[in-house]
Chains A and B, each alone.
Chain A
Amino acid sequence: MNYIKIATRRLFKKGEHSATRIISLAAGLAFGILLLAEVLYYHSFDSFYPDADRLFVVHENFKMDKSSDKLSSYASTSGAIGPGLKAEVPGVEMATRITHMGTSVFYTEDQKKYKAQFILADEFFFDVMPRSMVEGNAKEILKSPMNCMISTKIASEIGGGVVGKVIELKEYPGKKLTIAGVFEELPENTNYEYDVVVPLISIGKFMWDGSDNWLGNDRYYTCVKLGKGIKPESLAPAVRKMQEKHQDIVKLEEKHGGMVLKYTFKPILKMHSDNLQDIILILSSIAIAVLIVSLMNYILLTLSVLISRAKSSAVHKTCGAQPRNIQQMIFSETAVLFALSLVGALLIVLAVKPLAENELGHSLGAVLNPIVIIPIVGIVIFIMALISYLPARFFSKIPVVSAFRQYKQKKNKWKLALLSFQFAGAAFILTTLVIVTLQYDNLKNSPHGYNTEGVYFGSTSGMSGSKIGTVLHQLRSMPEVEKVGLGACLPIYGASGNNVLSPDKEKELFNVADFYSADENYLSILGVSVQRGEMFSEKAAVRGDVIISQKGAEMLKINNGWTEGVVGKDVTITEHGNTTIRGVYSDFIVGSKANPDSRPSVFFYRPEAAFIKAAQKNSAYSFKIMVKVHSTAQTGVMKKIEKVFNSALPYNDAVIKSLSLEQGKRYTKQRGFRNAMVAGNIVILLITIIGLLGYATNEAIRRKKELAIRQINGAKFSDILRIFLMDLELVAIPAIIVGLVGAWFTVDKWMENFASKIPLHWGIFLGCSLFILVLVAVASTINFTRNANQNPVDALRTE
């Protein structure tokens, strides 16, 4: 029997709910699979490297400050660690070290401008983390100073024929690199992105060369390839021996009273996913909730349809069909519907592709790798088997004699059980959405401790030191500008670290977020005021004086016994030496509220003239010019500021940013997350409503005779409706409670990542529950009324 042909015929038959089933399943599959693919994508990072399972990233673990018991772990080491591990730790087959130069604008000789991510790498880079070379020999290039190799993407942007061409970075005027090779562009699922590789032996031309340091200057991403079967833990004794030999670690430990530094090896395959555990948890939960809800909805509608076809199952049996034959028939029907749903899902994904790519931050094509595809195909097959098996088994088990005796009249409690999955899913995702949205708003909109409104900034990178003074003058001449200030770093981008030493300089007391230099206007532009002592000023401060956050002041008081306060005290901070504390300012959020830097912070005074002088002395030195505009300034002010900056830039490529917008971008991840929740919520609510409508219609038809008889015996339609809704709500209430409990556990776990979190108020849970209950009542009432409120005589006649 041609089951597929027969199944295709059923598609267009009235009462089969084919379109409803296909739409709801397609929506569920599209969204569920998209999210699951994203979760799997996180696990696919760096899997494209050969022997990826043997690649490990060396982590440096140390105590940030003595008062802390927690070991901080970073995927960066000093420069000598990589070669040291290769030379002195048996089991380490290969090692390489790379370091970022940053994303930079560069220019070709024909004055064209491009943007790329630059890294410095040693000659073993492509031995450990290989890429195919299109042109040139990677090993030779990485041994040759001031050569570089670029990706196929950048080569194509330049227009091909790139080998031999010379490029110059905006940040390092005059330092010319010759392109000596082209490598195959990296896929998107990599932890360490780069477009241009510069030999590490050239580092001294661009920055201070600490590539052979055993301690400090820990900016290197060190990756090792271990021998087959070597467990990273087994390397610990040899690594310790290396530390004893080169770092004098025993003496260091004695000085600091315990373990201060150790190295561990983290599988490169886990580098990305381990940092995203919270997102993986939530995305997986939403994906599973959406898939379960859509599957249960499909099964609910399918079983409802099959009940009306119970007699045909019996007829097939009287014709000699075995349960296996009946199951094949249903399986074919499911296959046709599922294939159409998959096509629908694909179309939905294609339709939302631009939006999804924007929210996910990568192309959807990037997920097409074996680590994602194989499990997804497995999940799709499992889903198809499940939605085929359950209805097929149910249909084949209908007893022949019952089927011939109005089988559809039997009680259908199972429908309510299936609906309960949808209620639970809807409650779960709605509540999660509300909490995620509130948390996002809380992160983004609540005060960060500094002002961002009307503050713009740009870098002096690429600007001749001699022109900075003119730029500052022009900016101050603009009627819209209230104040102009200079600073090395911004709170939104976090800060580097240095240690505050004890008065005898023997102990490191704690680590601070070091914002380096700021002039007398910088902090007032940010609206950060000094609580005690004085703000930087030409009169009251000398270059190098420091102001410290409230938290830092408290820690100094405790550690040094400075009960009378810290203002005026001398303090030694690594990299800066001895300095005087001029003031104490209120703590503000360093980084973002999503991932705040909890260290105290410091600023060092540098007068405007000193900033300019430094830039004139070193062309690679750059800092930020901060501009505060009047509240009455028009929207075009950013363009005007850009114009002033461009007047001092040879390539007119100034980038002016709004501090407010940049701060908002710190929460892109949370926003993407909130948007994923919104989409998931729409899908689940849509499916739930479809399920409810289908249920209400089927129930109205199933109970048509009963309703007619009740009406004839004096019941009002509202009485009947009340009974129907009571049945439904009695199932909905426990299901919603299950959904709420799931939501509570999920968001509670997710919120562990935030220092600042909204309280999980019971009102949120109650509000979401009521919304679902009302939705259930309204959707069911409308459809039940439409289908059941007919003349009882007609109902009995058709019966």
Chain B
Amino acid sequence: MISLKDIDRYYQSRFQRTFVLKGVDMEIKSGEFVSIMGPSGAGKSTLLNIIGMLDDPSAGEYYFMDNPVHKLKDKQKTEYHRNHIGFIFQAYHLIENLTVYENIETPLVYKGIKSKERKAMVADILDRFNMVAKKDLFPDQLSGGQQQLVGIARAVIANPTLLLADEPTGNLHSEQGEMIMELLQELNKEGMTIIQVTHSEKNAQYGTRIVRLVDGLVREDIPTNAKSLVAE
């Protein structure tokens, strides 16, 4: 599904080139649940942004569903956002002046789904996430956990093939975090490919594979149940 070939991401100043990612090669198959780990500044979020087509690599090739992303125009990338990729953020990033209902509905509007169908889809997901009673509330009227639930509902409502989560539990207490991780695991089991960035070994265990980055380099890429040499 995802193929990264010798990906570099660097920032060029007058005399110096500072690498955030260097020579990243990675293959992610459909249905995988990959956790990207590493210390601060390792390039985790940058890698996630490149996979999510929010940022462009400085060098290398990126194929998404066998299509060369590095050659795509912005408009084509938007089509992928509409149809294939969902995002979850640590800070939830709900749109503050939209209600819960409207936040969840947003991707469907941009996808061009008709109003009647949208209503049914949003009703289904509100029901699934037990948020029917909250649908008319605004984000600032919700707890952190509830906001993240809305964030996940918004990310998955258009039934994306790939879900990208940047520290989805970073702002939540442990109980809420567990609930979110279980939800992600459930979505993965339903066939959704998930890539999360996390600092938490515990949360990484919900996935099927762990990629460890250090100073922009992939230092380890192992199944969840394998023993890590880098982590120790």
A320 touches B107 (CB 8 A): yes
Q: Is A381 an interface residue (CB 8 A)?
A: no
B54 touches A318 (CB 8 A): yes
Q: Which of B55, B79, B81 contacts A319 (CB 8 A)?
A: B81
Q: What separation, in Å, do the CA atoms of A320 and B112 have in the docked complex?
A: 10
Q: Which B98-118 residues sit within 8 Å CB-CB of chain A?
A: 98, 102, 105-107, 109-111
Q: Is A321 an interface residue (CB 8 A)?
A: yes
Q: Is A558 an interface residue (CB 8 A)?
A: no
Query: What are 22 contact pairs spanning A and B, CB under 8 A?
Result: A1-B105, A1-B106, A1-B109, A6-B98, A6-B102, A312-B93, A312-B95, A312-B96, A316-B95, A316-B106, A316-B110, A317-B78, A318-B52, A318-B85, A318-B87, A319-B107, A320-B158, A321-B78, A323-B74, A401-B49, A401-B54, A404-B93
B81 touches A315 (CB 8 A): no
B54 touches A10 (CB 8 A): no
- Give a binary string over A395-409; 1 marks a CB under 8 Å from any B CB, 0 the rest: 000001100100000
The closest CB in chain A to the CB of B92 belongs to A315
B93 touches A321 (CB 8 A): no
Q: What separation, in Å, do the CA atoms of A9 and B93 have in the docked complex?
A: 18
Q: Is A178 an interface residue (CB 8 A)?
A: no
The closest CB in chain A to the CB of B138 belongs to A9
Q: Is A619 an interface residue (CB 8 A)?
A: no
Residues of A within 8 A of B89 (CB): 404
The closest CB in chain B to the CB of A1 belongs to B109
A9 touches B97 (CB 8 A): yes
Chain A residues in the interface with B (C-beta under 8 A): 1, 6, 9-10, 13, 311-312, 314-323, 325, 400-401, 404
The closest CB in chain B to the CB of A311 belongs to B93
Q: Which of A6, A317, A320 contacts B111 (CB 8 A)?
A: A320
Known: A316-B95, A316-B110, A318-B54. 13 other contacts (CB 8 A): A1-B106, A6-B98, A312-B96, A314-B54, A317-B81, A318-B81, A319-B107, A319-B154, A321-B110, A322-B110, A325-B110, A400-B54, A401-B55
Q: Is B14 an interface residue (CB 8 A)?
A: no
Interface centre among A1, A317, A318, A400 (most CB of B within 10 A): A318
Q: What separation, in Å, do the CA atoms of A315 and B106 have in the docked complex?
A: 10
A322 touches B75 (CB 8 A): yes
Residues of A within 8 A of B85 (CB): 318
- Give a binary string over B172-198; 1 marks a CB under 8 Å from any A CB, 0 the rest: 000000000000000000000000000
Chain B residues in the interface with A (C-beta under 8 A): 49, 52, 54-55, 74-75, 78-79, 81-83, 85, 87, 89, 93-98, 102, 105-107, 109-111, 154, 158
Q: Decide if the interface of chain B is mainly helix, strand, loop or mixed.
A: helix
Residues of B within 8 A of A317 (CB): 54, 78, 81
Q: Within the complex, what minimum Cβ distance (angstroms) separates B20 from chain A?
A: 11
Residues of B within 8 A of A404 (CB): 89, 93
Q: Which of A311, A320, A323 contacts B81 (CB 8 A)?
A: A320
Interface centre among B78, B82, B154 (most CB of A within 10 A): B78
Residues of A within 8 A of B79 (CB): 320
The closest CB in chain A to the CB of B46 belongs to A401
The closest CB in chain A to the CB of B87 belongs to A318
A13 touches B110 (CB 8 A): no
Q: Within the complex, what minimum Cβ distance (angstroms) separates A231 from chain B?
A: 55
Kindly list the 4 A-B residue pairs having the minimum CB-CB distance in the complex, ordered from nearest. A320-B82, A320-B110, A319-B107, A318-B87
A10 touches B97 (CB 8 A): yes
A322 touches B93 (CB 8 A): no
Residues of A within 8 A of B81 (CB): 317-320
The closest CB in chain B to the CB of A321 belongs to B110
Residues of B within 8 A of A321 (CB): 78, 110
Residues of B within 8 A of A322 (CB): 75, 78, 110
B95 touches A315 (CB 8 A): yes
Q: Within the complex, what minimum Cβ distance (angstroms) separates B7 from chain A?
A: 15
Q: What separation, in Å, do the CA atoms of A400 and B56 have in the docked complex?
A: 11
The closest CB in chain A to the CB of B56 belongs to A401
Residues of A within 8 A of B96 (CB): 312
The closest CB in chain A to the CB of B54 belongs to A400
A315 touches B78 (CB 8 A): no
Residues of A within 8 A of B97 (CB): 6, 9-10, 13
Residues of A within 8 A of B49 (CB): 400-401
Residues of B within 8 A of A311 (CB): 93
Q: Which of A9, A312, A314, A319 contacts B110 (CB 8 A)?
A: A319
Q: What separation, in Å, do the CA atoms of A322 and B112 have in the docked complex?
A: 12
Q: What separation, in Å, do the CA atoms of A317 and B83 have in the docked complex?
A: 13
Residues of A within 8 A of B87 (CB): 318
Q: What separation, in Å, do the CA atoms of A1 and B111 have in the docked complex?
A: 11
Residues of B within 8 A of A319 (CB): 81, 106-107, 110, 154
The closest CB in chain B to the CB of A12 belongs to B97
Residues of B within 8 A of A6 (CB): 97-98, 102
Q: What separation, in Å, do the CA atoms of A688 and B154 have in the docked complex?
A: 43
Q: What separation, in Å, do the CA atoms of A404 and B87 have in the docked complex?
A: 13
Q: What separation, in Å, do the CA atoms of A52 and B82 have in the docked complex?
A: 59
Residues of B within 8 A of A315 (CB): 93-95
Residues of A within 8 A of B75 (CB): 322
Interface centre among A315, A321, A323, A400 (most CB of B within 10 A): A315
The closest CB in chain A to the CB of B96 belongs to A312
The closest CB in chain B to the CB of A405 belongs to B45
Residues of A within 8 A of B54 (CB): 314, 317-318, 400-401
The closest CB in chain A to the CB of B75 belongs to A322
Residues of A within 8 A of B82 (CB): 320
Q: What separation, in Å, do the CA atoms of A796 and B111 have in the docked complex?
A: 40
Q: Within the complex, what minimum Cβ distance (angstroms) separates B162 from chain A?
A: 12
Q: What separation, in Å, do the CA atoms of A325 and B154 have in the docked complex?
A: 18
Q: What separation, in Å, do the CA atoms of A401 and B56 have in the docked complex?
A: 10
Q: What separation, in Å, do the CA atoms of A315 and B98 have in the docked complex?
A: 12
Q: What separation, in Å, do the CA atoms of A787 and B111 have in the docked complex?
A: 42
Q: What separation, in Å, do the CA atoms of A314 and B94 have in the docked complex?
A: 11
Q: Within the complex, what minimum Cβ distance (angstroms) separates A6 from chain B?
A: 6
Q: What separation, in Å, do the CA atoms of A404 and B94 have in the docked complex?
A: 12
Residues of B within 8 A of A13 (CB): 97
Residues of B within 8 A of A325 (CB): 110
Q: What separation, in Å, do the CA atoms of A321 and B98 have in the docked complex?
A: 15
The closest CB in chain A to the CB of B166 belongs to A404
